[in-house]
């Protein structure tokens, strides 16, 4: 009876340990899937935002896009005391935006290449001799992905000494990103 009791006790302990191990593995797998899904979603949403910026600039045939984001452009915008500029349709809620922007920690934001599947995301139209270069900072999203801010530098490729930094504020409405406001925070000529 002693041997069978010991074997039974060992099997029960092993069963409990195995259940814990499997539970931890399952939790890790599901959380990893969510993280990867979230990253992929944000990358796709970033490209949607960049496309909207270019569309709103109405200069797509006259510009080239730097292949990597430059988070250094974030320093041109005051996240603690933001200015919002032109309200596109009169429905911009500054209070909601101030709450979102005051929580942004630019120290955690990383640059990334503007590529999809190893190819450059934006196809330059070099035949037109681009007269502008746009340099995007990484897009910053609210936690629930209903707000996004895109900060970018836009420079003349002809004079190299004129350009500026502009901020576009987007809100998701009915599953589509809408430009709500924009402001040029730095301009030089």
Q: Does 167 fall in a domain?
A: yes
Question: What is the per-residue pLDDT for 161?
Answer: 73
Distances in Å between the Cα of 150 and the Cα atoms of 27, 88, 161 are 34, 15, 22
Residue 133 and residue 64 in contact, taking contact as beta carbons nearer than 8 Å: yes
Give me the residues paired with residue 55 across strands.
none
Q: Does 50 fall in a domain?
A: yes
Q: Does 11 fall in a domain?
A: no
Q: Does 21 fall in a domain?
A: no
Question: What is the per-residue pLDDT for 40?
Answer: 40
Give the structural domain span for 142.
31-188
pLDDT in tens, 106-158: 999 999 888 877 667 676 655 667 778 889 999 999 988 999 999 999 888 77
Q: Does 5 fall in a domain?
A: no
Q: What is the dihedral of CA 81, 86, 92, 96, to 10 degrees?
A: -10
Q: Which residues of the chain have pLDDT under 50?
A: 7, 10-11, 14, 16-40
Q: Does 23 fall in a domain?
A: no
Question: What is the per-residue pLDDT for 34?
Answer: 31
Number of domains observed in the structure of the chain: 1
CA dist., res. 25 & res. 44, Å (int): 29
Q: Does 26 fall in a domain?
A: no
Question: What is the per-residue pLDDT for 70?
Answer: 93
Question: What is the per-residue pLDDT for 21?
Answer: 43
pTM of this structure = 0.72
Q: Does 9 fall in a domain?
A: no
Question: What is the per-residue pLDDT for 152?
Answer: 94
CA dist., res. 145 & res. 154, Å (int): 26
């Amino acid at each position: 009876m002693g041997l069978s009791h010991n074997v039974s006790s060992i099997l029960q302990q092993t069963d409990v340990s195995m259940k814990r191990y499997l539970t931890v593995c399952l939790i890790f797998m599901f959380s990893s899937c969510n993280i990867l899904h979230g990253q992929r979603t944000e990358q796709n949403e970033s490209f949607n935002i960049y496309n909207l910026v270019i569309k709103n600039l109405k200069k797509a045939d006259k510009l080239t896009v730097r292949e990597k984001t430059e988070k250094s452009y974030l320093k041109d915008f005051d996240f603690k005391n933001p200015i919002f500029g032109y309200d596109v349709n009169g429905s911009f809620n500054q209070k909601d935006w101030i709450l979102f922007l005051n929580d942004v920690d630019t120290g955690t934001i990383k640059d990334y290449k503007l590529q999809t599947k190893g190819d450059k995301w934006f196809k330059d139209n070099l035949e037109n001799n681009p007269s502008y270069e746009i340099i995007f900072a990484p897009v910053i999203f609210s936690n629930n992905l209903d707000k996004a801010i895109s900060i970018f530098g836009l420079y003349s490729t002809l004079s190299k000494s004129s350009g500026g930094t502009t901020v576009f504020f987007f809100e998701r409405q009915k599953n589509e990103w809408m430009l709500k406001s924009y402001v040029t925070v730095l301009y030089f000529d």
